[in-house]
Amino acid sequence: MKIDERKLTLLCDFYELTMARGYFHSEIKNKIAYFDVFFRRVPDNGGYAIFCGLEQIIEYIKSIKFESDDIEYLRSKKIFDEEFLSYLKDFKFTGDIWSVPEGTVIFPNEPIMTIRAPAIEAQFIETFVLLILNHQCLIATKASRIVRAADGRIVSEFGARRAHGADASVYGSRAAYIGGCHSTSCALADKMFGAAAGGTMAHSWIQMFDTEYDAFKTYCQLYPNNPTLLIDTYDVINSGVPNAIKAFKECLTDEQRNHCAIRLDSGDITYLTKKIRKMLDNAGLTGCKIVVSNSLDEYIIRDILLQGAKVDMFGVGERLITAKSEPVFGGVYKLCAIEDEKGITPKIKISENAAKITNPDFKKLYRFYSRDTGKAEADLLTIYDEVIDTSKPYELFDPNYTWKRKTMDNYDLREMLVAIFKNGECVYENPTAEEIRAYCKNELDSMWDEVLRFENPHNYYVDLSQKLWDEKHKLLRQGRK
């Protein structure tokens, strides 16, 4: 579902259009191009990332159409000839796309999506594919880290008012939900994706009434089944908590008191929640939950819990919805092969920066799972026509430390890339956000804790098959000539 009915065909970098015209008037026009989407480094120096945003890419590709006003705009630039503009009038995507499913745990330098299409089509969708994946993968990954830090406590995404625009709010909420958040403050995200919207009151609600107690009492009378009262408008310990206790006791039944909560949005969370918990328990409100917010992230959450903070739920806003600590995911879209009547020709990008050298050819991506533990052990990139004999041990090496070897024995092998488009037709059925969220949790459960930790995570193996390694180094040698 879209936020609105905007026409997004021209949401592209202008050079996609200048290159398209160049391809159209050259021998490239009828060649098939293969592009890989991958990322080079995990944000926050983490050990893993979460793939997210595929549904929105599918929507975009299905809806690509150059309307008459788009053609007029391009004509006004005075660099596009009529023959090319006529071609654009009937433009549609006719190629193939493979992708890992949303919610998949992903690692640097492996293809998380591969596009095979006529060169013009494959090149044209680059900008939109990257802007969606770079945003939603970033937020889903940040959400996953925050949820892990909460150690089983509920995390709700509170970032709508701090997001970088409407799309960033709604699709950021979707990504946060997939990454593990329990709910969102954004009503539209709930309507569109079922990401369980929730919320109670702002400080202005309390200020509207003559007294804090009147504000609390009125709210409890309106919402007796699950009231959450914001207690830091004036004085947390001397008025907020006592007035909340009084309102709960006067307005709620014994059963309703087991489903109430107070929310703290400022101050020293560890110190205050310890005192608040004692006050609530002494008043017999042992079932009352404590919700905290106020510029939280995974590091603050981890630290206050280590200090003994008494928190049942976290509301996380700006540092989640903007991924404030590192707000760029760094996904890229690189040509890896071209195809004509002679077959597939691998392509490589060589750089002075070794990290920017690409892996060539049309590839498959596999994941090894230990049959003994059920845990993911390594990923393997192969050339598209390679076959792995799972009845035999397979030796992997860590590409960052070529002397480090890992021999896989008694393993299962999973092919990670699934068909999304075939000959321009979508052959993939999108799961619901709730289904993706459950799949993401299972993916994380399949990873060793050492991969998931925040500091100095284990370096997960992403290896190249010997055939692909040899091909890559052959092309590197040719590039130096």
CA angle 110/39/60 to nearest 5° reads 100
Gap between the Cα atoms of 37 and 415, Å rounded = 17
Contacts with 165 (C-beta within 8 Å, 6 or more apart), sequence order: none
* pLDDT tens for each residue of 247-295: 999 999 999 999 999 999 999 999 999 999 999 999 999 999 999 999 9
Query: Domain ranges in the chain?
Result: 14-139+327-479, 148-321
Instruction: Using DSSP, state whether 407 is helix, strand or coil.
Output: strand
Residue 479 scores a pLDDT above 80: no
In the block, tokens 């040719």 appear at 478
Gap between the Cα atoms of 49 and 138, Å rounded = 8
Number of helices (H), then strands (E), belonging to the chain: the values are 17, 21
- Write the CATH number of the domain with boundaries 14-139+327-479: 3.20.140.10
- In this prediction, residue 404 carries a pLDDT of 67
Contact 363, 369 (CB under 8 A): no
Residue 371 scores a pLDDT above 50: yes
The pLDDT confidence band at residue 400, using thresholds 50, 70 and 90, is: low
The pLDDT confidence band at residue 398, using thresholds 50, 70 and 90, is: low
Q: Does domain 148-321 have CATH number 3.40.50.2300?
A: no
Tell me if 14-139+327-479 shares its fold with 148-321: no
Output the CA–CA distances (angstroms, integers) from residue 231 to 234, 261, 266, in the order listed.
8, 10, 10
* pLDDT tens for each residue of 288-338: 999 999 999 999 999 999 999 999 999 999 999 999 999 999 999 999 999
Average pLDDT of the chain to the nearest whole number: 95
Contact 397, 406 (CB under 8 A): yes
* Beta-sheet strands, E only, within 1-104: 32-39, 49-50, 96-99
- In this prediction, residue 307 carries a pLDDT of 97
Gap between the Cα atoms of 36 and 77, Å rounded = 31
Residue 197 scores a pLDDT above 70: yes
Mean of the pLDDT values across residues 433-450? 97
* pLDDT tens for each residue of 122-143: 999 999 999 999 999 999 999 9
Gap between the Cα atoms of 33 and 119, Å rounded = 5
Gap between the Cα atoms of 183 and 165, Å rounded = 20
* pLDDT tens for each residue of 65-87: 999 999 999 999 999 999 999 99
- In this prediction, residue 17 carries a pLDDT of 97
* pLDDT tens for each residue of 139-173: 999 999 999 999 999 999 999 999 999 999 999 99
Contact 273, 310 (CB under 8 A): yes
Q: Which residues pair with 117 in a beta bridge?
A: 33
- In this prediction, residue 3 carries a pLDDT of 45
